[in-house]
């Protein structure tokens, strides 16, 4: 029982992710302590907080909050060279609105709860029941607990949103996927992912801690640990350029990757901007990149442990019109809060199913489902794609933007990386 209760409290933590390759400007503090002194797993020189995967809700002890695979050849090895890149985002943003408010979260982290054949997760644990398919059970098996319906708030963050949801196909959705689009049950209707690219942002490269300068630390993980290089409320578009780590040829297909910590479903896109242009959404919308080939999950940065699969991509109902977006392929497994999701693309173990059913367990028992902030997934997993660099792009310095539009929260994550087209 203790495991079950602990799990419920952990599950209130919120979503974070960042570009892992190429290295983003948002990783600015990755070379400073405590991030430079952090490594996983623990060893003689990395003990307690220096090897603990953590989630800091108060802007303190964030060393192990955004780790990525160390690409060292050692299975499961992580480092914190990405600094706090996974805390750069925009909070309180819904589709078709002109601005974010930095605060609101209508349904993400909401009080709605689902029941499985009338039972909550605690009862399942008491009865020692593991769900056969906790991610996408047969229609009707998992239903909203009517006693929690009053907590639902299905609305935009502005009075007259200029769009309704364009993502209605259940296969493109990631949470509460069995609710009919636009119905009174479809409580993620105004979430950023439901009309990709149409939610506003606080900053196109994220805001440190997800809020406007001066708003301070907020709920839903809207916080940042101040360092000598970056502070809560800083704008990602104002971060200094980093040395470019890659040179890409115009017309070629190139690899990009991101790592999820807390997992709010939804989907993502990549865009480019000339490095000397204002790094705004308006600029990035002019150069959206197409995904090509299969989607890839890769563990430990090692192509020998990767899985290629048919991803879920769409260019319909997106902004800019025709731009290609890809669904986040990792189901969160947070069924009590999000209801049915979708099945993982890899085979998951019984232990992983037990975690998703509510039992808890060791971090790492799931390979391609769940979440990495105190969850069953290890952040040695990267979501890798090939994107196509336009054939006629002029050589020069560019900034690559990764934009993640969440479905389970009113949040948009972003990372920006320096690249060279040559
Ligand atoms: C940390 O991991 C990155 C790959 O994700 C790697 O390039 C870098 O060299 C590693 N840094 C250290 C100090 O091990
Ligand atoms: C609970 O279920 C698991 C998996 O089905 C089983 O291995 C275990 O023996 C059960 N425990 C009890 C106390 O029945
Ligand atoms: C959204 O849908 C509602 C209900 O069908 C409709 O009244 C409204 O005009 C739509 N809004 C937009 C911007 O299309
Ligand atoms: C972090 O920096 C912000 C912006 O300068 C400031 O408002 C906040 O008080 C700082 N937080 C701490 C804990 O020092």
Compute the 3-state secondary structure of the chain and give helix, strand, coil in percent, each to the nearest 5.
15, 25, 60
pLDDT value of residue 59: 86
Q: How many CA atoms lie within 13 A of 76 on its CB side?
A: 13
pLDDT value of residue 110: 80
pLDDT value of residue 1: 25
pLDDT value of residue 15: 55
pLDDT value of residue 6: 33
The residue nearest atom 14 of ligand 2, judged by CA position, is 128
* Residues paired with residue 208 on neighbouring β-strands, in sequence order: 88
pLDDT value of residue 5: 31
pLDDT value of residue 109: 67
Ligand 2: centre distance to CA 128 (Å): 6
Q: Which of 418, 408, 335, 421 is nearest to 370 (CA)?
A: 335
Tell me the C-alpha distance between 104 and 407, whole Å.
14
Tell me the C-alpha distance between 206 and 403, whole Å.
9
pLDDT value of residue 3: 31
Ligand nearest to the CA of 154: 3
pLDDT value of residue 107: 66
CA distances in angstroms from 62 to 45, 81, 298, 410, listed in the order given: 18, 13, 25, 23
What's phi and psi for 18, nearest 5 deg? -160, 160
Asked if the peptide bond before residue 41 counts as cis, ω within 30 degrees of 0, the response is: yes
Ligand 4 within 6 A of CB of 231: yes
Ligand 4 within 6 A of CB of 232: yes
pLDDT value of residue 113: 96
Tell me the C-alpha distance between 372 and 15, whole Å.
10
Query: What sign has the CA pseudo-torsion 120, 340, 319, 422?
Result: positive
The residue nearest atom 2 of ligand 1, judged by CA position, is 70
CA distances in angstroms from 169 to 174, 182, 194, 313, 371, listed in the order given: 10, 11, 10, 12, 24
Ligand nearest to the CA of 317: 3
pLDDT value of residue 245: 86
Atom of ligand 3 nearest to the CA of 160: 13
pLDDT value of residue 108: 63
Tell me the C-alpha distance between 30 and 7, whole Å.
29
Q: State the 10-residue block means of pLDDT for the chain, 422 residues long.
A: 32 70 98 98 97 88 96 98 98 97 81 96 97 97 96 92 98 98 96 98 98 92 95 98 96 98 97 98 98 98 97 98 98 96 98 96 97 96 98 98 97 98 96
Residues lining ligand 2, judged by CB closer than 6 Å? 128, 130
Q: Which of 193, 207, 409, 415 is nearest to 319 (CA)?
A: 193
């Amino acid at each position: 029982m203790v495991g079950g209760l602990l799990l419920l409290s952990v599950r209130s933590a919120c979503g974070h992710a960042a570009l892992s390759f190429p290295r983003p400007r948002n990783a600015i503090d990755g070379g400073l302590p405590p991030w430079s002194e952090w490594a996983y797993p623990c060893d003689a020189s990395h003990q307690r907080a220096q090897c603990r995967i953590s989630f800091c809700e108060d802007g303190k002890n964030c060393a192990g909050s955004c780790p990525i695979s160390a690409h060292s050849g050692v299975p499961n090895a992580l480092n914190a060279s990405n600094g706090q890149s996974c805390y750069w985002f925009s909070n309180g943003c819904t589709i078709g609105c002109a601005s974010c408010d930095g605060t609101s979260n209508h349904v993400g982290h909401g009080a709605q709860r689902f029941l499985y054949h009338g039972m909550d997760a605690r009862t399942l644990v008491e009865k020692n029941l593991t769900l056969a398919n906790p991610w996408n059970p047969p229609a009707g098996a998992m239903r909203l607990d009517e006693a929690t319906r009053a907590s639902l708030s299905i609305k935009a963050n502005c009075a007259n949103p200029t769009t309704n949801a364009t993502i209605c196909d259940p296969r493109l959705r990631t949470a509460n996927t069995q609710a009919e689009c636009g119905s009174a049950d479809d409580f993620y209707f105004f979430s950023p992912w439901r009309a990709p690219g149409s939610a506003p942002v606080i900053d196109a490269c994220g805001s440190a801690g997800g809020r406007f300068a001066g708003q301070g630390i907020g709920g839903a993980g809207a916080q940042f640990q101040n360092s000598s290089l970056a502070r809560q409320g800083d704008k990602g578009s104002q971060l200094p350029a980093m040395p470019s780590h890659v040179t890409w040829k115009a017309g070629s297909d190139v690899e990009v990757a991101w790592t999820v910590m807390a997992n709010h479903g939804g989907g993502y896109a990549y865009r480019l901007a000339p490095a000397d242009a204002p790094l705004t959404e308006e600029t990035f919308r002019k150069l959206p990149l197409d995904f090509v080939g299969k989607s890839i999950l890769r563990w430990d940065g090692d192509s020998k442990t990767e899985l290629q699969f048919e991803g879920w991509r769409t260019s319909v109902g997106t902004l800019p019109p025709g731009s290609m977006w890809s669904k986040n392929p990792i189901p969160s497994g947070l069924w009590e809060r999000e209801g049915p999701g979708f099945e993982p693309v890899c085979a998951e173990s019984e232990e992983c199913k037990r975690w998703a059913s509510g039992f808890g367990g060791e971090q790492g028992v799931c390979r391609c489902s769940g979440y990495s902030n105190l969850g069953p997934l290890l952040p040695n997993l990267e979501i890798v794609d090939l994107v196509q660099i336009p054939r006629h792009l002029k050589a020069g310095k560019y900034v690559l933007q990764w934009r993640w539009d969440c479905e389970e929260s009113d949040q948009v994550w972003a990372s920006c990386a320096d690249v060279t087209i040559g």
